[in-house]
């Protein structure tokens, strides 16, 4: 007689047991193999982990995660193929779905004026500038976009790069060094951490949005370093909350530090006119030394930018490796972002509707008893559901019900904080938002 594994156990208990086993196996992969050594014949004895990608610890962890999902009977929710424009709605596997997995906050990706601008740029300049901008890749669109961004932030100038992630990596990695200190919110984006590691500076984090803890840290540490950079985000994309920026500006001033704010998710979202956290708090442009943002969300292109004083921007244009040695942003992308910026300014109703939708969704979720963490309802609302297995099952079940929302799983978040992350759009209707909450509420009772 064959006995089935976990026979007689409930599904939630089986998920918990398998999840614990998965976590143990993942921790085991963190133990490094023995170092390379020479054998008696002088031939190098090198562990497979050091000379085979299939034995690389990162790949081994990935295989364990895939195996764990298979044993739990969970289909992967990642790399879902969208068959057209993704906004408040999308098309997956030939079926129209309600979409909450897009950064197209204001519905400008696919806007007629934005598409027309991109097509015109291709006609005028082609699809690539085919060189770094300092060599022969400069085009009028680059300068027009940078001028518009500088005007938006009230700064001297701005610089646009081909990747948002690479913007943080190259700017932080270039401007700071081994005698400096970089302090950041514990939930800061990976690109900031990568930039700090590249710089060689000492890196320290402080508890999420805790300005008092940062103040205490700098009171102890500031005088041990030359330059100090504080890095925050305008809106934290995992939690949908934001820092008390004036408090951090005061700390920046008292401790004589640089302050950098990553506005990837707050431009187009915060402030009456959507111009970001600066407008929300009514702070002066110069109160923040480095304004960073991306072109791929509200501005419906692809790339990153820095806005700030002339000395900063000129320095980056001539010396930052990620700009100096990279091709310039492609003409259609620059044109799309510039047109999106103009739409943002010409159509403020989009911002008002996005903010209304976020508040409405958050209120309905809380009324339904859902755990939305610290979200403020500005574009990003997580629903924290517990374990990764449960979050994945819920995501797949939501898709079956015609609603696309992605799970955020361990180790991206602590295992007990796995969640479904809802991105709002100005194009969602109240009825669609209410429907999503109703469907999720029913599924939470089942899973």
Whole-number pLDDT of residue 2: 40
The β-bridge relationship of strands 157-161 and 181-185 is: unpaired
Q: Are 312 and 122 in contact (CB under 8 A)?
A: no
Return the percentage of the chain with pLDDT > 70, whole number: 93
Residue 8 lies in a domain: no
CATH number of the domain that residue 433 is part of: 3.90.1150.10
- pLDDT, greater one: 435 or 60: 435
The answer to whether residues 408 and 426 belong to one domain is yes
Asked which of 346, 368, 402 is the last residue of a domain, the reply is: 346
Catalytic residue among 14, 111, 255, 265: 265
Angle at 97 between CA 440 and CA 242, to 5 degrees: 60
Residue 18 lies in a domain: no
d(CA 216, CA 254): 12
Q: What is the DSSP string of 69-121?
A: HHHTT----SS--B-S--SSEEEETTEEEEE-S---TTS-TT-HHHHHHHHHH
* Tens of pLDDT, residues 279-309: 999 999 999 999 999 999 999 999 999 999 9
Whole-number pLDDT of residue 393: 93
Among candidate residues 372, 380, 378, 370, the one with its CA nearest the CA of residue 443: 370
Confidence band (pLDDT; 50, 70, 90) for 5?
A: very low
The answer to whether residues 291 and 404 belong to one domain is no
Number of domain units in the chain: 3
The sign one gets for the Cα dihedral 427, 430, 435, 437 is positive
Q: Are 357 and 396 in contact (CB under 8 A)?
A: no
Whole-number pLDDT of residue 8: 44
The answer to whether residues 294 and 380 belong to one domain is no
Whole-number pLDDT of residue 23: 64
Q: Are 408 and 93 in contact (CB under 8 A)?
A: no
Mean pLDDT confidence for 89-104: 96
Whole-number pLDDT of residue 358: 98
Count the Cβ atoms, other than its own, within 10 Å of residue 438. Answer: 13
Residue 400 burial by CB count (10 A; 0-12/13-18/19+): exposed, middle or buried? Answer: exposed
Mean pLDDT confidence for 96-115: 97
pTM: 0.91
Mean pLDDT confidence for 104-120: 98
d(CA 400, CA 420): 15
The sign one gets for the Cα dihedral 119, 121, 123, 129 is negative
User: What's the mean per-residue pLDDT of the chain?
Assistant: 92
Residue 393 lies in a domain: yes
Residue 17 lies in a domain: no
The answer to whether residues 339 and 355 belong to one domain is no
Whole-number pLDDT of residue 6: 41
User: Which residue, chain included where needed, has tokens 């640089």?
Assistant: 258
Mean pLDDT confidence for 166-195: 98
The answer to whether residues 311 and 363 belong to one domain is no
The answer to whether residues 133 and 263 belong to one domain is yes
Confidence band (pLDDT; 50, 70, 90) for 124?
A: very high
Whole-number pLDDT of residue 16: 61
The answer to whether residues 119 and 242 belong to one domain is yes
Residue 10 lies in a domain: no
Residue 4 lies in a domain: no
Residue 27 lies in a domain: no
* Tens of pLDDT, residues 347-391: 999 999 999 999 999 999 999 999 999 999 999 999 999 988 899
Statement: residue 3 has pLDDT above 80: no
Mean pLDDT confidence for 106-113: 97
d(CA 258, CA 287): 10
d(CA 240, CA 372): 9
Statement: residue 228 has pLDDT above 70: yes
Residue 217 lies in a domain: yes
The answer to whether residues 61 and 151 belong to one domain is no
Whole-number pLDDT of residue 108: 98
The answer to whether residues 355 and 340 belong to one domain is no
Is 265 a catalytic site residue?
Answer: yes
d(CA 25, CA 68): 10
CATH number of the domain that residue 183 is part of: 3.40.640.10
Whole-number pLDDT of residue 291: 98
Catalytic residue among 90, 199, 205, 237: 237
Is 297 a catalytic site residue?
Answer: yes
The answer to whether residues 337 and 214 belong to one domain is yes
The answer to whether residues 195 and 324 belong to one domain is yes
Mean pLDDT confidence for 299-324: 98
Is 189 a catalytic site residue?
Answer: no
Point out which residues pair with 360 in neighbouring strands: none
Statement: residue 22 has pLDDT above 80: no
d(CA 169, CA 367): 41
The answer to whether residues 51 and 96 belong to one domain is no
Alpha-carbon dihedral angle through residues 323, 167, 164, 374, given to the nearest 10 degrees: -170
- pLDDT, greater one: 45 or 210: 210
d(CA 194, CA 399): 34
Whole-number pLDDT of residue 17: 54
* Tens of pLDDT, residues 54-95: 888 888 888 877 887 777 778 888 899 999 999 999 999 999
Range of the domain at 427: 89-102+349-446
Catalytic residue among 14, 189, 255, 297: 297
Mean pLDDT confidence for 103-130: 98
Asked which of 346, 372, 391 is the last residue of a domain, the reply is: 346
User: Which residue, chain included where needed, has tokens 């997995």?
Assistant: 101
Statement: residue 42 has pLDDT above 90: no
Asked which of 297, 323, 346 is the last residue of a domain, the reply is: 346
Alpha-carbon dihedral angle through residues 23, 25, 31, 37, given to the nearest 10 degrees: -160
């Amino acid at each position: 007689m064959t006995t089935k594994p976990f026979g007689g156990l409930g599904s939630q208990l089986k998920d918990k047991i398998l999840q614990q086993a998965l976590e143990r196996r993942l921790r085991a992969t963190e133990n490094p193999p023995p170092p390379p050594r020479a054998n008696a014949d002088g031939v190098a004895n090198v562990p497979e982990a050091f000379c085979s990608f299939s034995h690389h610890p990162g790949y081994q962890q990935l295989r364990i995660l895939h195996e764990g999902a298979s044993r739990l009977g969970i289909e992967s929710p990642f790399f879902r193929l969208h068959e057209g424009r993704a906004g408040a709605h999308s098309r997956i596997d030939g079926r129209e779905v309600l979409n909450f997995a897009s950064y197209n906050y204001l519905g400008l990706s696919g806007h007629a004026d934005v598409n027309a601008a991109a097509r015109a740029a291709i006609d005028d300049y082609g699809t690539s500038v085919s060189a770094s901008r300092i060599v022969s890749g400069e085009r009028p669109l680059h300068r027009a976009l940078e001028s518009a961004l500088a005007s938006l932030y009230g700064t001297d100038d701005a610089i646009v790069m081909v990747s948002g992630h690479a913007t943080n990596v190259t700017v932080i990695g270039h401007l700071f060094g081994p005698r400096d200190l970089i302090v950041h919110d514990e939930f800061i984006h990976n690109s900031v951490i990568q930039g700090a590691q590249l710089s060689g500076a000492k890196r320290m984090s402080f508890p999420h949005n805790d300005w008092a803890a940062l103040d205490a840290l700098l009171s102890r540490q500031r005088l041990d370093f030359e330059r100090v950079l504080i890095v925050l985000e305008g809106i934290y994309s995992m939690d949908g909350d934001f820092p008390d920026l004036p408090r951090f500006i005061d700390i920046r001033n008292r401790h004589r530090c640089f302050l950098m704010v990553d506005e990837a998710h707050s431009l187009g979202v915060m402030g009456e006119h959507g111009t970001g956290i600066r407008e929300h708090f009514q702070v002066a442009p110069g109160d923040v030394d480095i304004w960073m943002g991306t072109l791929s969300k509200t501005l419906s292109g692809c790339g990153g930018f820095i806005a700030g004083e002339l000395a900063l921007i000129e320095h980056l244009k001539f010396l930052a490796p990620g700009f100096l040695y990279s091709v310039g942003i492609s003409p259609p992308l620059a044109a799309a972002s510039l047109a999106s910026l103009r739409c943002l300014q010409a159509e403020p109703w989009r911002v008002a509707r996005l903010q209304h939708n976020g508040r409405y969704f958050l209120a309905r979720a809380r009324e339904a008893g859902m755990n939305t963490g610290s979200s403020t309802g500005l574009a990003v609302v997580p629903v924290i559901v517990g374990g990764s297995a449960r979050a994945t099952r819920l995501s797949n079940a939501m898709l079956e019900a015609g609603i696309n929302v992605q799970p955020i799983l361990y180790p991206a978040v602590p295992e007990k904080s796995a969640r479904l992350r809802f991105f709002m759009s100005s194009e969602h209707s109240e009825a669609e938002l209410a429907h999503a909450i109703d469907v999720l509420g029913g599924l939470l009772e089942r899973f």
